[in-house]
Structure 1
Amino acid sequence: MANNIEIKELLDAGVHFGHLTRRWDPNMAPYIYMERNGIHIINLYKTAAKIEETCEALQKIAASGRKILFVATKKQAKDIVAEKARNANMPYITERWPGGMLTNFVTIRKAVKKMQTIDRMKQDGRFDTLSKKEKLQMNRLREKLEKNLGSISDMTRLPGALFVVDIKREHIAIKEAQKLNIPIFAMVDTNSDPREVDYLIPANDDASKSIDKIVGFVSDAVSAGLADRKAGKDAQKEGADAPKKEAKDPKAKPAKAAVAASEEEE
């Protein structure tokens, strides 16, 4: 269970503010503490427990070497999520969710490769041989691809998990992940159905302070998982590079025999 300081951090960030009571989802009842002025208040002790559970699972996924795709396209979340995901060296989607991003991943990869091809053309000089109109078209295509897919250019295979802010808004991403049995981690507010995800963090998903606090915990856990993976690789490398025991010289006398021989000579 999280300590009191963590609870106070959540309280200060406004994580406990849910939606209007008339907009609630009954399946969130176990995570609601009370109703105040027509607004549901989230039980922060349960939120803290779910943060620990979620972070532990994400840390293991990151340590296994799989990518975690962060998804948040709402205005108050996109910049925060982009920054936290970059800090954790993970892919993210903060612009419009590309339809078929997961279920038609091969096509998405082709679009990313197209962007990389344009970059190579600029490096090797082929771009300079194009007409002015062709250059303009290429640059426009490159900008569009960069905006929508640049943040996932290093994701060469399907992610090991999704972390989502606001599952109602990102319902297409949720459905695609469900079809492929990709684990879904998410901030879930009182107006959403927690059964849609595998790991939920009951929290206010509208306020930037709340989003920043929760995604901060998540990105720190992912970074810790990557550090665990690096430490494991370094340990394996040290073990492989350790000098082998020197082979015994068959002509060399055993220590006790050598001592006895020297005593006899005296």
Structure 2
Amino acid sequence: MKSLLEAGAHFGHQTRRWDPRMKPFIFTQRNGIHIIDLQQTVRRLEEASEWVADTVSKGGTILFVGTKKQAQETIEAEASRCGMPYVNSRWLGGTLTNFTTIQGRIDHLVRLEDALARGEYVRMPKKDVLKIEEEIERLNHHFGGIKEMTKLPSALYIVDPGMEYISVAEANRTGIPVVAMADTNCNPNLLDYPIPSNDDAIRAVRLVTARIADAVIEGNQRREYGGDGEEFEFGEGQTSYSASPDEPVPGTEEEAPAATPATTEVQA
């Protein structure tokens, strides 16, 4: 819990921006800011992590999603570390609900890359080769993180489900479970495993996302060795905390205004 506290995971949004459905996860308020109950954060994070490890141990895939500035780098780094697909630039409408079309675009990308690697374009005019390279770059920007995802994921891990509301809606529609960092302005009822936490502080995003990635690695170990794998301990034994009225509130240099949600419909 100490690491969560130091990362600022307990700072929610301004009280006027809250979603009342997050009330069970709120400890108190200070200076117009809701303070998240970190005891529940630890418990919910461990529950989610165990479920993720169990899912992966059975061959499941977790799609990491986080397109806001504070999450992009962490999502790519942690998903890559544990060998899972990710979306960190823009959620394309239909990624889950129209996966056949998505897969078609990914297959097209792979064919272009393979042809380029084999030197099939060496006899083409340089201008045409440049266009192909630009198309590969554009497709990788949209699909690079899910290029190896050949089927729908077993679950989504999301940073800021409020901003990623389209991915949440698609997951709900397709029956795919959602694990997510839920700030005080989120609707936890749309999530299967809500993890109450500040989803704007970069350090908090890193901490929680790394724990989920550790759970994926643990699940892979279980599948590979047929056992329980390595035990991952979280926190440093702290069981309670108090928020001082003088504590700093969100707005440090680590935090940035949330970007406007955006989506792009896939063009076949």
TM-score for both structures, normalised by structure 2: 0.83
Q: Where does residue 115 of structure 2 map in the other structure?
A: 121
The alignment covers a number of residue pairs equal to 227
Given the alignment, which residue of 201, 207, 211 partners 1:207? 201
Q: Where does residue 174 of structure 1 map in the other structure?
A: 168
In the alignment, structure 1 residue 183 sits paired with structure 2 residue 182: no
In the alignment, structure 1 residue 15 sits paired with structure 2 residue 9: yes
Given the alignment, which residue of 10, 18, 21 partners 1:24? 18
Deviations 1:188-237 (A, max 9, x none): 0001110011111000000001101111111101110011111129xxxx
**Structure 1: distance between partners of 2:109 and 2:73:** 23
Partner AA of 1:28 in structure 2: M
Shift, 1:121, TM fit: 1.1
Q: Percent identity?
A: 42
Q: Where does residue 91 of structure 1 map in the other structure?
A: 85
Unaligned runs of 5+ in 2: 228-268
**Structure 1: distance between partners of 2:54 and 2:209:** 17
Deviations 1:32-83 (A, max 9, x none): 0001000000000011100111001000111111210000000011101110
In the alignment, structure 1 residue 104 sits paired with structure 2 residue 64: no
**Structure 2: distance between partners of 1:81 and 1:124:** 31
Given the alignment, which residue of 125, 131, 135 partners 1:141? 135
3-state DSSP class of the match of 1:62? helix
**Structure 2: distance between partners of 1:121 and 1:129:** 12
**Higher RCO (C-alpha 8 Å, min separation 6):** 2
3-state DSSP class of the match of 1:162? strand
3-state DSSP class of the match of 1:34? strand
**Structure 2: distance between partners of 1:216 and 1:105:** 27
Given the alignment, which residue of 134, 146, 150 partners 1:156? 150
**Structure 2: distance between partners of 1:125 and 1:80:** 35
Unaligned runs of 5+ in 1: 1-6, 234-266
3-state DSSP class of the match of 1:127? coil
Q: Where does residue 186 of structure 2 map in the other structure?
A: 192
Which shifted more, 129-138 or 8-17? 129-138
Partner AA of 1:36 in structure 2: R
Shift, 1:138, TM fit: 0.7
**Structure 2: distance between partners of 1:222 and 1:148:** 24
Partner AA of 1:226 in structure 2: N
Given the alignment, which residue of 207, 211, 222 partners 1:217? 211
3-state DSSP class of the match of 1:126? coil
Shift, 1:113, TM fit: 1.0
Given the alignment, which residue of 34, 38, 47 partners 1:44? 38
Q: Where does residue 63 of structure 2 map in the other structure?
A: 69
Partner AA of 1:35 in structure 2: Q
* Alignment root-mean-square deviation, CA: 1.1
